A and B are shown apart, each in its own frame.
Chain A
Amino acid sequence: QQQVKQSPQSLIVQKGGISIINCAYENTAFDYFPWYQQFPGKGPALLIAIRPDVSEKKEGRFTISFNKSAKQFSLHIMDSQPGDSATYFCAPLYTTGFQKLVFGTGTRLLVSP
């Protein structure tokens, strides 16, 4: 099983602040780097993803930063809102051939009003 480590385990951010979650991986064959968002009692949903040919991708308030040499990628949530309170999982994988989606350890984000 490939190691995928997230940090921090939990995070409390004030409304309007920046939330930063990190993911470190070992498998250099990974070529797709997604973040999933999960609300209590719901299934995970893809939030944003990046491929290794770019170092950053932005979608609205959400940005992925990718550091290939460090084998790390990060999720940045700008202007964090209480509705962003959820658990976030990274799930890097390689898309050549059959994919096996394995989740990181998860980060519980609480955005205080």
Chain B
Amino acid sequence: DTEVTQTPKHLVMGMTNKKSLKCEQHMGHRAMYWYKQKAKKPPELMFVYSYEKLSINESVPSRFSPECPNSSLLNLHLHALQPEDSALYLCASSSVVVGKAFFGQGTRLTVV
């Protein structure tokens, strides 16, 4: 199984809502990532978890809250988002040492 599964595929939320994005992998990878991608731009790194611990936070606003409950799951909790946060949110995983990363299909988020 070389898949990274993200749910939901699409999400529309209001600025006062609380929602969560979910990501799952069963490749035994111990590094997991959240990226944000705006249209016609490269993915931008948000968070990195290594061995279930937050290793990198790229100065992301606190309205985005990551969580890694176990080695297979990664969540991104969303609260009080702004319309400019609308984007494709991508989850990825990799072995900590090897360079190849596997990406999910992403969650297309629209904040209204």
Contact = CB atoms under 8 A, between A and B. Distances in A.
Contacts of B104: 43
Decide if the interface of chain A is mainly helix, strand, loop or mixed: loop
Interface residues on chain A, size class: 20 to 34
A14 B108 CA distance: 32
Q: B103, B104, B106 — which one has the most chain A CB atoms within 10 A of its CB?
A: B103
A106 B100 contact: no
A98 B41 contact: no
Interface residues on chain B, size class: 20 to 34
B90 interface: yes
A45 B42 contact: no
Contact of A43 (B41, B99, B106): B106
Contacts of B50: 98
Interface of B: 4, 31, 33, 40-43, 45, 48, 50, 55-56, 88, 90, 92, 94, 96-106, 108
Interface of A: 32, 34, 41-46, 49, 89, 93, 95, 98-106, 108
